[in-house]
Amino acid sequence: MKSQLTLYAYVDGSDLKGVEAELEPALTRFVQSREWHFRRARVVNQRHEHDPTLRPGDLPDWDLGLNLEVPMVQDHRFDWLADIEDIAKFLRRLHTKTGCEFVVGVADSETGVSEDLFYVSTNVPERDKLLAIMRRWLDAG
């Protein structure tokens, strides 16, 4: 059985109380505003429980952003890459509006391995770079 890859695009940080009310509805509108090539992205707003290993003053992780399931098919036409490009462009606009930086990465559900791939602030990777990043993960799966 092949692993399932999930692309995640979350606000970078854990102190999100000041931006949650603005970001969650914006993320929801974005998800509902377009047709998705593979599977529909879903909004994530998950505050992790307090971890006893945190240092004083540290906040528990807070995942606020989007998840997108990525097909594990090497010979796929990569139509869904447009979904990733659109997510990155949308996050760039959100960064401009809110000042939040976003981290985009991939998580493998079978192995539990995840990797932050790039950060979105003012620049979004070109399509060829996105494709190379995703092919590396697909070839490993």
Each domain of the chain, given as residue ranges in start order, spans: 5-140
Task: Check residue 1 and give its pLDDT.
Answer: 44
Cα of first residue to Cα of last residue in the chain, in angstroms, is: 10
Q: Tokens in use for 83?
A: 């979904």
Task: Check residue 124 and give its pLDDT.
Answer: 63
pLDDT, tens digit, 9 for 90 and up, residues 26-45: 999 999 999 998 788 999 99
The whole-chain average pLDDT of the chain stands at 83
Query: Which residue stretches of the chain have pLDDT < 70?
Result: 1-3, 60, 72-78, 122-127, 137-141
Q: pTM for this one? A: 0.83
